[in-house]
Amino acid sequence: MDSPLIIPIFIPYQGCPRRCIYCNEHITAGSPQPPPTAAALKRQILASRHRTRRHPPRVEIAFYGGTFTGLDREAQAALLAPATACLREGLVQGIRISTRPDEIDDAAAQFLRTAGVWTVEIGAQSLVDAVLEKSRRGYTAADVVRTVTRLKTKGFATGLHLMIGLPGEDGAAFAETVRRAVALQPDMVRLHPTLVFRGTELADLYRAGAYAPLSLEDTLAACRHALRAFESAGIPVIRLGVQTTPEMEAPGVVLAGPYHPALRSRVEESIAGEMAARLLAALPVRRRTVLFTAAPTLAAHLKGRKKAQLETLQKDFDLAGVEVAVDPSSPGDVLTLTVGDRTERTGRWGPL
C-alpha cells in the first residue's frame, strides 16, 4: 500500500530528559521553527497536498524530534490543538508522535488518544541492554517490549526507531535487536545509521579513539539483513537512512560514519547486485553476453550509479557483455537472467 503523506512538525529536544550521546537535533531536525498555528498548519497541509505527485491514501501530521510525552500536559495540549482541529475538519486522517519508551505510561497514552493520536513511534534504537547502556539511553530492552506491547493492546499503531552501529554494538548485537524487534511485531520500523555529529558526546568519544563508526559497506550489509527480516515478517521499513537537512551538508558537521544522502537506494542496489550474482553463479556465463530482465525500478537498481554495478559484475564473472531489459510487466521483486537459450529467475531474497 502507498505510504501516507506526512506533514512533519519538529520539536527539537522538547521533553527530552537528557541529551543522548549521538544526538544533535540542530543538525538532524534543521533550524528550530515555532510550532505552527492552526491556520499555518492548514496552509502547510494544503501546500503539501498540492506539491505531492502521488495520491497518498492518508495525510498525517507527525511530531518528530524531542520526546513528545516528556512535555507537560499543557505543552502537549498546546502543540496538539491545531493538529486535532485539522483532524476534526477532515484535512488529515491521523496524528502521530514519537517518544522514548520510558516516557509514556497509561495516562499519557490515554491523553494522546483523546487528542486523536493513534500512532506512536518509539525511539528504541537498540534492544540489547549493553548497547543501550553504552549509549546512556536510560532504559532497558524490557522497557521497550513492555511499552510497545502496552500500546498495541490499547489499539495504537506502533513504530520502532532503530539505529545501526551504536557504541558497543557488533553484528551479533544488531542481529539480536532485529530479531527482538520482529518478535514485537510493530506496524512499522525506521532504521538510522549512527553518524558522528559535531557537538555530541559521540564526537568526543570518536576523537579520543573510543568509538569507531561502521563503514558504509558494513552498514549496507546490516541494512540488507534487517530489511530481509522485517519484510519477511510483513513489517514495512518506512525509512532507511537519515533525513538529510541543509545543516548536515555543511562541511565539518558529519565528522564520521556511514553518511549517504540516499542510503536506501544504495541498499536496494546492493540487493539487486546480490540477486544478479546469484543468477550468474547458477548458469555457465563465462565469456558470454548475458541479458537481465526486470521491472523498471529493479532494473535501475541493478545498473547502479553510472552502470557501475554492471561493470563490476562483468569483471567478477568474466562476461563478454551485460544487457538489461526493462519489462514493466515483470514482478517488482523478480530478476530474470537469459544466456543463450537458458533462463533462470530469482526473487528478492533467494531462489523462487
Q: How far is the CB of 311 from ligand SF4 (least distance, A)?
A: 40
Tell how far CA 321 is from the center of its chain: 36
Of 9, 36, 45, 67, the residue at the interface with ligand SF4 (CB under 6 A) is 67
Instruction: Dig out the grid coordinates for 62 from the structure.
Output: 507527525
- The yes or no reply on residue 123 touching ligand SF4 (CB under 6 A) is yes
Query: Could you tell me which stretch among 17-25, 75-83, 175-183, 336-344 binds ligand SF4 (CB under 6 A)?
Result: 17-25
Beta carbon nearer to ligand SF4, 66 or 258: 66
Beta carbon nearer to ligand SF4, 98 or 309: 98
Instruction: Dig out the grid coordinates for 341 from the structure.
Output: 537459450
Q: Which residue has the cell 558529519?
A: 254
- The yes or no reply on residue 101 touching ligand SF4 (CB under 6 A) is no
Beta carbon nearer to ligand SF4, 123 or 165: 123
**CA within 13 Å, CB half, 170:** 1
Q: Which residue has the cell 510550532?
A: 35
Q: How far is the CB of 253 from ligand SF4 (least distance, A)?
A: 16
Q: How far is the CB of 80 from ligand SF4 (least distance, A)?
A: 18
Tell how far CA 189 is from the center of its chain: 6
Of 4, 35, 65, 304, the residue at the interface with ligand SF4 (CB under 6 A) is 65
Instruction: Dig out the grid coordinates for 152 from the structure.
Output: 498495541
Give one DSSP letter per residue of 138-150, joined into a string: SS-HHHHHHHHHH
Query: CB-based contacts of 302: which residues, under 8 Å, 6+ apart?
Result: 269, 272, 273, 275, 276, 292, 294, 309, 310, 324, 335
Measured at the CA of 173, the angle between CA 273 and CA 181, to 5 degrees, comes to 80
Beta carbon nearer to ligand SF4, 166 or 294: 166
> How far, in Å, CA of 10 to CA of 132, rounded?
24
- The yes or no reply on residue 147 touching ligand SF4 (CB under 6 A) is no
Instruction: Tell me which residues in 156-215 interact with ligand SF4 (CB under 6 A).
Output: none
> How far, in Å, CA of 199 to CA of 81, rounded?
34
- The yes or no reply on residue 25 touching ligand SF4 (CB under 6 A) is yes
- The yes or no reply on residue 66 touching ligand SF4 (CB under 6 A) is yes
- The yes or no reply on residue 132 touching ligand SF4 (CB under 6 A) is no
- The yes or no reply on residue 136 touching ligand SF4 (CB under 6 A) is no
Which residues of this chain interact with ligand SF4, rule CB under 6 A? Answer: 13, 16, 19-20, 23, 25, 65-67, 100, 123
